[in-house]
Amino acid sequence: MKKILVTGGCGYIGSHTIINLINNGYALVSIDDLSNSKADVTNKIKAITGVDIKNYVVDLKNVDATRQVFVAEGPFDGIIHFAASKLVGESVSHPLSYFQNNLLGLLNLLACMQEFDVDKLIFSSSCSVYGNATELPVTEMTPRQEAESPYARTKQIGEDILHDISVHQKKIKTVLLRYFNPAGAHESGLIGEDPSNKASNLVPVITETAIGKRERMVVFGDDYQTRDGSCIRDYIHVMDLAAAHTKAMEYLLNGQNQDYCEIFNLGIGEGVTVLEAIHAFEAITEQKLNYSIGPRRDGDVESIYANYEKARTVLGWSPERSIEDIMRSAWVWEQNRSRKS
């Protein structure tokens, strides 16, 4: 049984990916400092899979504490690195903390990988590296533009660090997964997007408004050059995204990689405006949302959606769920967690 270390394993995407990895026969260890996640997610993973997952409450900025996980739990066959701060608006307000957390954490992880001879890494990147893209849909060859936020810049720099280490040193094989807008929840309704901090992603904001946790929600801008004036994004179901991480790890473990550093886009290949997402939720759930139009938000790009053909042909991955599936599962999750709170 191959053993995988998942950083950020108690977080939204990390926890769903752990479930998919368990279902595909992997042994898992998690590192998560719980700064934007909750410890009880491991209990929910066990309820779904029957498997106990050990999480080390470790801040990756602390290299000695990170190293002790490798000592206690290694050797690892591969690592999936999710742990990072991810809020665009917050990164604009606190850029230094984003550079410290996202980049120092990555560098410390790489130092431990080098010391303990772990040579396979899946990196959680983002469509934000494309900035305001010059073409749509974006492919892996689409040139990166100026980062629109410090968060996006940390992903660009993280990619560059991994490219230089992987390609020039030829000791670490890396897959950079540029994904678009993860949303939705596990079909059990037991886990979903549940940050410790106030949610800022569109879908949980929608569900929290619908259930009454928020009086209203704000659509940031209706004057973009889009179908209805609101931003366009590519919303991908979190379980489709989780499956892609498993396939990417299998790709590396099986020695199928063509280069030391490879890039894959992960989206559904369709752009949905913020207002279209709201209307999709209303249609699926028959819940009327109270929303208003506000000014544009710093750091937001106008339109971005994916061409995922490379992931389909190379990794054998394709998304299976629609925006309607996303909204349906997210609403079930919201109702379940609200009953428990």
Q: How far apart, in whole angstroms, are the C-alpha atoms of residue 287 and residue 93?
A: 34
Active site residues per annotation: 151
| Model confidence, pTM | 0.95
Mean pLDDT of 186-212: 90
Q: Quick one: pLDDT at residue 338?
A: 83
Of the CA atoms within 13 Å of residue 45, those in its CB half-sphere come to: 28
Taking 70 as the threshold, does the pLDDT of residue 341 lie above it?
no
Q: How far apart, in whole angstroms, are the C-alpha atoms of residue 13 and residue 193?
A: 8
Above pLDDT 90, what percent of the chain? 90
Q: Quick one: pLDDT at residue 47?
A: 98
Radius of gyration (C-alpha) of the chain in whole angstroms: 19
* pLDDT (tens digit per residue) in 25-80: 999 999 999 999 999 999 999 999 999 999 999 999 999 999 999 999 999 999 99
- Confidence at 331, pLDDT banded by 50, 70, 90: very high
Contact 238, 16 (CB under 8 A): yes
* pLDDT (tens digit per residue) in 274-302: 999 999 999 999 999 999 999 998 888 89
Taking 70 as the threshold, does the pLDDT of residue 10 lie above it?
yes
Taking 80 as the threshold, does the pLDDT of residue 196 lie above it?
no
Q: How far apart, in whole angstroms, are the C-alpha atoms of residue 241 and residue 179?
A: 8
- Look at the alpha carbons of 21, 125, 181, 197 in this order and tell me if their dihedral is positive or negative: positive
Per DSSP, the three-state class of 73 is: helix
CATH architecture of 3-183+235-267: 3-Layer(aba) Sandwich (3.40)
Above pLDDT 70, what percent of the chain? 99
Q: Quick one: pLDDT at residue 39?
A: 94
Taking 90 as the threshold, does the pLDDT of residue 172 lie above it?
yes
* pLDDT (tens digit per residue) in 216-255: 999 999 999 999 999 999 999 999 999 999 999 999 999 9
The mean pLDDT of the chain is 95
Tallying the residues shown for the chain, one arrives at: 341
Crossing angle between the packed helical segments 274-285 and 202-211, to the nearest 10 degrees: 40
